[in-house]
Structure 1
Amino acid sequence: MTTRRGLFVAPFDALADPRVVGDLAASAEAAGWDGFFLWDHLQYGDRVEAIADVWTCCASVAMRTERLLFGPMVTPLARRRPQVLARQAASLAVLSGGRFVLGLGLGDDGLGEFSAFGDETDPRVRGRMLDEGLEVLSALLSGDPVDHDGPHYAARDVRFRPAATVPVWLAGRFGNRAPARRAARYDGFFVIGLDGPEDLDEVTADLGRHDPGPGFDVVLDLRPEQDPAPWLDRGASWVLTRIGPFDLDLADVRRIVEAGPGDSDAGLRQPAG
């Protein structure tokens, strides 16, 4: 299996401009990267001042590139209405010629991102909202008639067109079995918090127990200073290089992007987010 390489970019501060994000994505495509994925946050603590909207940034990436896969990584579905998300995802799939990937997860309230806006803070409730929201979202994207009336969401006698094929990657922390089980029902698992390449053996074994479908993606991210070589050929289909979240310098970011996946440690030194 060939491992694809992508960028995992926080559109914060120096990058909090969809025009800058589009420029970086165009440079990434020219430099040989395979994907360009964007963090989705409304706030990120005191060290981050400016944040760009992920959907506007995704549209900019779609318009500036022809080959890259891209998308939000990840969107807390419980903070979104699945019917609005379905319209956004379908439109971005059309705009990009089918290159849009939808990353979804629980999110967390460690920085007050949910509580500050009155959103659901209980992760167990958000888990139930995620499962139900995925059901509604998938049904709406299919283009088939949908009639759903659940504890969190309703979609009564509706049908969305255009239908769209949108891969869904679910995120979860290493060692937590529920996210892997959930992800195996969809198209990929973005696993967070791996300590070393050997942890991938446990991830792939756990996923194997849930029988994911063909073409299922296992995705991880590394800091720019981490050598990707030991992580390749260990069961991951994507290894992303993380850019952010703090003290971003545009010149340093450009050096990493333009160096390409063969030399992704060329200039940025960031702490883990």
Structure 2
Amino acid sequence: MTDYGHALTFGLSLDPEADRLDETRRLAKAADEKGLDYLAVQDHAYQPGHLDTWTLITHMATRTKRISFLTDVADLQLRPPAMLAKAAASLAVLAGGRTILGVGGGAFADAIAGMGGRRRAGGEMVAYTEESLHVMRAALGGGGVRLLSDQHAIEGYEAGPVPTLPIPLWLGSQGPKMLGVTGRAGDGWISPLNIYVTPAQVPAKQKIVDEAALIAGRDPADIRRIYNVIGTIGGLRSGPGLVGDVRLWTDTLTEWAVELGFDTFIFWPVAETRAQLDVFAAEVVPAVRKGVDQIRGQR
């Protein structure tokens, strides 16, 4: 049993496909009005049908009022950390905060190299990612930033602007080495979709994050835990991910919060996205909040 005690937050994954832009605009506006916490956008710039993630997020920020935006996750191979921090800080200033930096080392080496990125794998990617987190943290805080290493050649610049509110750095990770980086240097762990990292696999991964945090002198409870959840609420009897009625979704997400330690759930609907958003925001989210509060109150 693991419950790190964070307040629960919920989000919706937006499709960056260019030919679905009108629908994406409507979904962003609806999620904002319905009180969700995040709009999450994946980052696969090498997909010809995808809009650029930062351009899409900036566009959506002008069409929403209060909801925050999460890169889920930004590809550090194609978005060097100093420039990525600059982009995030700029968006935070322009949008009144509302910015969470989810980042990852980059999962598709051939596609990354095809766009001119450096082909990294294994220990080299781990080292690059961990150093990138430190670069971004320094850059987001303002002041001088410099790092000359095997992975970076940042000769020195004065970082800014500095956002009024800190921008969290959440790391998407799955293997033990990258999970260790999360524990040592990340503000949050973003788990891949529940069809890729199943609930049964989560405790072992949480343990790696926690142990790395403790060795680094950090409190594991300070690290947020985010689960990307694909599935369908009601309707279909089968499909990928979590499929079932509101009661099943409520019970499952409540269990994943108090037993697996997740505090944030990003919903990836399989179909009928607007209808799925409506029932998720109106029925599942408040029921999960209530259920988790009740369980915590009994402990």
- Normalising by structure 2, report the TM-score: 0.74
Shift of the alpha carbon at 1:167? 0.5
Q: 2:220 matched to 1:194?
A: no
Q: Is the 8 A contact 1:256 1:263 kept in 2?
A: no
Distance 1:6 1:86, change over 3 A: same
Contact 1:170 1:189 in 2 (8 A): yes
- Would the aligned equivalents of 1:22 and 1:57 in 2 still touch at CA under 8 Å? no
Indicate whether 1:9 and 2:17 are aligned: no
Aligned residue pairs, count? 248
Distance between the aligned counterparts of 1:121 and 1:7, measured in 2? 31
Following the alignment from structure 2 to structure 1, what is the Cα–Cα distance between the partners of residues 206 and 151? 32
Give the deviation of 1:20 after TM superposition.
Answer: 4.7
Matched, 1:261 2:261: no
Structural mapping, 1:174-253, within 5 Å: 176-184=175-183, 185-192=185-192, 193-196=196-199, 198-209=200-211, 210-211=213-214, 212-213=218-219, 215-225=222-232, 226=242, 227=249, 229-232=251-254, 233=257, 234=259, 235-243=261-269, 252-253=272-273
CA distance in 2, matches of 1:149, 1:109: 26
Secondary structure, aligned partner of 2:62: helix
Query: Once the 2 structures are TM-superposed, how far is the Cα of residue 215 of structure 1 from its aligned partner?
Result: 4.1
Conserved 8 A contact 1:105-1:130 = yes
Structure 1 stretches lacking a partner, 5+ long: 265-273
Q: Hey, what does 1:271 align to over in structure 2?
A: none
Q: Which has the higher contact order (CA 8 A, sep 6+)?
A: 1
Post-superposition CA distance 1:34-63 (Å, at most 9, x none): 21100111234xxxx621111111112322
Structure 1 residue aligned with 2:115: 117
The change in CA–CA distance for 1:145 and 1:13 in structure 2 (over 3 A counts) is closer
- Pick from 17, 24, 33: which aligns with 1:30? 33
Which amino acid in 1 is paired with 2:202? L
Q: Percent identity?
A: 22
Alignment of 1:71-90 (within 5 A): 71-90=70-89
Which structure is larger by alpha-carbon Rg, 1 or 2?
2
Alignment RMSD: 2.4
CA distance in structure 1 between the aligned counterparts of 2:229 and 2:81, rounded to whole angstroms: 30
Q: Which moved more, 1:233-242 or 1:149-158?
A: 149-158
| Bigger helix share | 2
Contact 2:133 2:169 (C-alpha < 8 Å) held by counterparts: no
